[in-house]
Chain A
Amino acid sequence: MLGTYGPPAALLALCTAFSIASPQFRTWTNLRNVLDSASVLAVITVGLTFVLLLGAIDLSIEGVMAASGLSVALLLANNRNDVDLGFVAIIAAVALGACFGLANGLLSTRLRIPSFMTTLGVSAIGIGVATVLFGGIQPTISSPAVAEWANGQVLGLTRLTFVAAFVVVVGVLIQRYTRIGRYARVIGGAEDLAALSGVRVARYKTLAFTLAGALYGLGGVMVTIQLGSGIVAAGAGQNFTAITAAVVGGTLLSGGRGGVIQSVVGVLIVTVLANGLVLIGVSPYVQKAVQGIIVVAAVAITTWPLRERMRVVK
């Protein structure tokens, strides 16, 4: 019960509370703000969800977003070079993200290292790649058509918000109707048993990481388009926020539970919380601390009944 209805109820409660506390919160403009500012987080959280379903974790989001963000900035019309690949640039940046994801998957499954270690390392590599690409001069995108995606409005929302909505729908379909999605859940449910039944665990884990990487890449592209230039800090803070969103929505870190829809509810909770707290005058810096407490508390609540005297948890 708590698992299914808790997060939507929390979202509703938050919206109600902020509506009462702040007249500004309950305006259409603010609703659009919330949705627009949730778009990047939604895209990367959908990706992260597939990794969490495996029972693994991904700490590489910031690195992948940085690398993809800088490459797309350098491949679109910009002030650093004469390259302008247009849409192909976006494809290339997403593909770069997928490559990082592939590296996460292959390193975790082939070298048999816990994913939090491999992805931490890969994140550093991504940051390094981005720093090299940055090269001391910030690449600024000079194409007005690209800026239109972040600023121009359709039905009052930016086009990037529709991109995010599209990603969420595709994410739900992948999760429900494809082997990558279903096997991610199977592996998270009981990896050893899945292997017993002949599921090629390493392959499907790697595919899930790759899919996630591609979406982080897309997230990096979206941030870069919003900012109008490529920066190494494109994904700063996003990794933990995405984990918070997924966990709060009901996608457990222990794997196999939750899913894209749950994670998106979590994204909205986190975004509404951030937006509402600012509107009622709380320092935005508090949010990071609040997120930290929320994640640990959420994990504590869901795993509390499993506590036992001789249980080994590392």
Chain B
Amino acid sequence: MSIKVDDKIGTVRRAIPVRDARALFLRFMPGIVLVVLVLAVALANPLFLRPNSLLTAADSAAPLLVLAAGAMLVILCGSIDLSVAALASMCSVFVALWVPALGGWAVLAAVLVGATAGLIQGAVHVVAQIPSFIVTLGGLAVWSGIGLVASSAATVGVEGDSLEWAFTRIGDARIPSAALIAAGVAVLIAAVFWFTPVRRWFEAVGSAEPAAVLAGVPAAQIKLAAFTVSGACAGLAGGLLVARTYSGAPGLADSLLLPVVAAIVVGGTAITGGYGGIGRTVIGVLIITVLRVGLSVAGVDPSIEQIIYGVLVIGAVSLTIDRSKFQVMK
């Protein structure tokens, strides 16, 4: 009996079996949707394709991308972080309060606060073995509460230009700095995923945790890392929001929770974990952003946005979810 081992494919990468239509759909659909959306918006309003409009769109997408990038890591390992928006709000309050003392470093401090908050949530989830949606729902309440107390439930204004770096245009091309920061976060995650084994650990934990643990994958540490990074990203997003609104407020980012979840799942990351990535999340964020622009171009009442997010989340989750993971669906 001779065995033929063909190694012509070259790199060791995930190969999706062609017969698996669902996998193909998941892989290419988000990109196609994005292109179609851009074309549709461009047809309705050709001005959209001018560099300046595109850069404005990219700028407005930055906080969403930062939040989504962190939350995606948690979803990739099969858990969920419902606290990101509330945490970003809390951090925005802290940034606004600390700018007088720390200047621009207030953002770094907020990132650390966010990371600590995320780490606490991760530790409760891992040690007490409580479902992550409960832990982060509780966290959501705690962080909003802290934000309310710290700000006495009021908007905290920021004066001076110490946060200007996070909301400015750079160079002749007038690239928005916030978009660069967000892109930096995405590239950093992509680089770690590509050059180190970390991505496999996330996927293994998300897709088959018992198998991952029995293969020696440090599952607890992976989850802790995911929650910590997610918290740090929320802190950074809080900082970016303060820079563009010149103020921090206890509810500043709260409405971003649904767009974040929508962006992640619309990009094709499965809510059940083990399948997804940063590239998809970028696409998802762009879809949401272009959709927003498209709605305003089409003259649609902006209050319908929420309805669209709701429908998108349910629709995208139902397309990407791996139902074989559930014996019963709670």
Contacts and interface: CB of A to CB of B under 8 A. Distances in A.
A45 interface: no
A296 B303 contact: no
A112 B306 CA distance: 23
Interface residues of B, number: 57
Interface stretch (A36-44, A220-228, A280-288): A280-288
Contacts of B304: 128, 132
- For the residues of B in contact with A, the DSSP-based class is helix
A285 B144 CA distance: 9
A303 interface: yes
Contact of A240 (B135, B141, B258): B141
A124 B78 contact: no
B330 A56 contact: yes
Contacts of B71: none
B141 A288 contact: yes
Contact of B330 (A121, A131, A134, A255): A255
Contacts of B330: 54-57, 114-115, 191, 255
A314 B213 contact: no
Nearest to B219: A312
A243 interface: yes
Contacts of B125: 313
B305 A128 contact: yes
Contacts of B149: 283, 285-286, 289
Nearest to A239: B137
Contacts of A123: 310
Contacts of B153: 285
Contacts of B134: 253, 295-296, 299
B313 A124 contact: yes
A290 B148 CA distance: 12
Nearest to B273: A314
B78 A113 contact: no
Count chain A CB atoms within 10 A of each CB in B149, B213, B271, B310 and give the residue with the most.
B310
Nearest to B208: A312
Contacts of A122: 310, 314
Interface residues of A, number: 60
Interface in B125-147: 125, 128-135, 137-146
B228 interface: no
B313 A117 contact: yes
B329 interface: yes
Contact of A292 (B80, B141, B312, B329): B141
Contacts of B323: 112
A111 B318 contact: yes
Given A107-B314, A296-B135, A191 B328 contact: yes
Given A289-B145, A312-B210, A314-B131, A117 B314 contact: yes
B79 A314 contact: yes
B321 A304 contact: no
B90 to A, nearest CB: 10
A307 B137 contact: no
B144 A303 contact: no
Contacts of A292: 137-143, 145
Most A C-beta atoms less than 10 A away, residue of B131, B134, B308 = B134
Nearest to A312: B209
Interface in B271-325: 271, 273, 301, 303-314, 317-318, 321, 323
A255 B329 CA distance: 12
A306 interface: yes
Q: Which of B124, B306, B317 has the most CB of A within 10 A?
A: B306
B313 A291 contact: no
Contacts of B305: 128
Nearest to B126: A313
B328 to A, nearest CB: 4
6 contacts: A114-B330, A125-B311, A287-B145, A288-B148, A296-B124, A296-B134
Interface of A: 54-57, 59, 63, 107-109, 111-118, 120-125, 127-129, 131-132, 134, 191-192, 240, 243-244, 253, 255, 283, 285-293, 295-296, 299-300, 303-304, 306-308, 310-314
Q: What are the 8 A-B residue pairs with the smallest beta carbon separation, nearest first?
A: A289-B145, A292-B141, A128-B307, A124-B310, A131-B303, A128-B306, A285-B148, A288-B145
